[in-house]
Amino acid sequence: IFRIDNTDHIIDVNKGNIPFEYDQVNVICPVYNKDTTEDDAEKYIIYNVSKEEYDTCRITNLSPRVIAVCDKPYKLMYFTIPFR
C-alpha cells in the first residue's frame, strides 16, 4: 500500500475546518474467532512519527510515542485518534 503512486492510505485532516473544529479517525483492530491461533493473528502498533520517519518508513526515535496497540485478537477494540 505504500507505493508512491498509491494514495489510498492518505487522509486529509483539518482541511477547511473552522477554529476549534477538528477531525478524527477511528482505527478498528482486527478481530479473530477462537479457531485462529494468536501466532496467526495480526497485531498492530501505531506510532506518532516525524515527517522524516514517515518519509523514510523508519522509526529513528529511541523512545517512539505509541498511539495505539492492537494486541487482543479475540476482542473488539478500536481507537479514536483526534487531529488538532
Q: Are 68 and 46 in contact (CB under 8 A)?
A: yes
- Please state, in angstroms and rounded to a whole number, the distance separating the CA atoms of residues 67 and 46: 5
Nearest to 71 by CA among 39, 49, 47: 39
pLDDT, tens digit (0-9, with 9 covering 90-100), for 67-78:
999 999 999 999
pLDDT higher than threshold 90 for residue 5? no
Structural domains of the chain in order of their starting residue, each with its CATH number: 24-82 (2.60.40.420)
Number of H helices, E strands in the chain: 1, 4
| Grid cell in block for residue 33 | 474467532
Question: How far is C-alpha 31 from the chain's CA centre?
Answer: 16
Considering just the CA atoms, what is the radius of gyration of the chain in Å? 16
Can you give the pTM of this predicted structure? 0.70
2 pLDDT band, cuts 50/70/90, is: low
Alpha helices, H only, the chain: 51-56
